[in-house]
Amino acid sequence: MSKLDLRFFDILSYLEDLGIPVHEEGKNISEGWIGIQCPFCDDISNHLGINLDTKVGRCWKCKTPVSAISLIMMLENISYGGACERLKEYPDPYYNQEIRERNLKTSGHILPREATKDFSSIALNYLINRNFTPTILIPKYDLYCTNNLGKYKFRIVIPIIINYEIVGFTSRDYTDRAELRYRKCSIEESRIHHKEWLYNIDTIKDKVLIVEGPTDVWRMGDGCISPLTSEFSNRQIEILSTKKIKEAYFLFDSEPNAQAQAKRMANNLSAFIPHVEVLELASGDPGGLDEIEAQKIMSEIF
């Protein structure tokens, strides 16, 4: 397990070694999930549910979102980096071989050389202050951090992953002081042209929610994509037209220019997708929604 991919973590063996009782069936346990006593609250039952595929879950009592990493940090009282190392000690030998073979390719130097998984406190606070949970967000989207070196300094590096391969990256300034909030890698640094990028596209099926930027995708989750541009390129439209999407929804910033842009994009996609709809927020943008509001919108769409 050379990459930090929670799917390859044998959580059952890990919990067994720690002597923690695991419930694989019974009350409140869905298929493909396990339940354990939640270490984040005064739980006396098995309210912490964890999905065996994603290794992410939530306590149904205290509502704390949990990933394998945050769980290890709590159970062993160790740092994020220490938890990542512990996770690597428990590779799952039975994980689907086909998935293993298509694990993300990172040959060459697509990402900045100074990019690291050791997030600074400033970078972590940027995420926390925006109501994201770093221990879930960082491994889910394979995020990296830079510090005070290189042309992408003081940024969260966001890999663009298409067909389970990193094809390029964009980056977000976490100090809110840079002139450019987002900075993409150059075309020369990317495996495919920026006009073919569709962030998070590997998670869509027959329905898709389209938002403006990466942080909006982080808030809304699987099934949500971003073109990372002010307009869809013809190539991006062609790519979406091959995905057999039946329904597409736009959720852009509430300000008038963003709404006009969403309507233009929706009109372009309506030639290829049977149902296209523009949703509107009362104020702000998707990235500013709280988790409950975001989940409500996603449950209504999917």
pLDDT value of residue 96: 47
Give pLDDT, residue 274: 93
Q: What is the mean pLDDT of each run of 10 residues along the chain (302 residues)?
A: 67 89 79 88 90 86 90 93 88 56 49 90 94 91 92 94 90 91 86 90 94 95 89 84 92 89 88 92 89 90 88
Residue 116 in domain: no
Calculate the alpha carbon distances from 155 to 34, 228, 296 in Å. Answer: 36, 17, 31
* Count of structural domains within the chain: 3
Last residue of a domain, one of 139, 165, 192: 192
DSSP alpha helices (H): ranges in 18-115?
68-76, 80-88, 97-101
Q: What is the CATH number of the domain that holds 244?
A: 3.40.1360.10
* Same domain as 205, residue 183: no
Tokens in use for 7?
Answer: 């799917």
Question: Is 35 exposed, middle or buried, given 0-12, 13-18 or 19+ CB atoms closer than 10 A?
Answer: buried
> Residue 24 has what pLDDT?
81
pLDDT of residue 250: 95
CA distance 88 to 109: 23
Report the C-alpha gap between 49 and 23 in whole angstroms: 9
In sequence order, the 6+-apart residues with CB closer than 8 A to the CB of 133 are: 65, 67, 70, 127
Name the residue range of residue 164's domain: 121-192
Burial 192-219 (b: 16+ CB within 10 A, else e): eebebbbbbbeebeeebbbbbbbbbbbb
Asked whether residue 147 falls in the same domain as residue 179, the answer is yes
pLDDT at residue number 180: 84
- Same domain (yes/no): 211, 182: no
- Alpha-carbon span 175 to 291, nearest angstrom: 23
Q: What pLDDT is stored for residue 103 in this prediction?
A: 44
Q: Same domain for 97 and 149?
A: no
pLDDT score for 94: 58
d(CA 147, CA 114): 8
User: Which residue, of 73, 101, 129, is where some domain finishes?
Assistant: 101
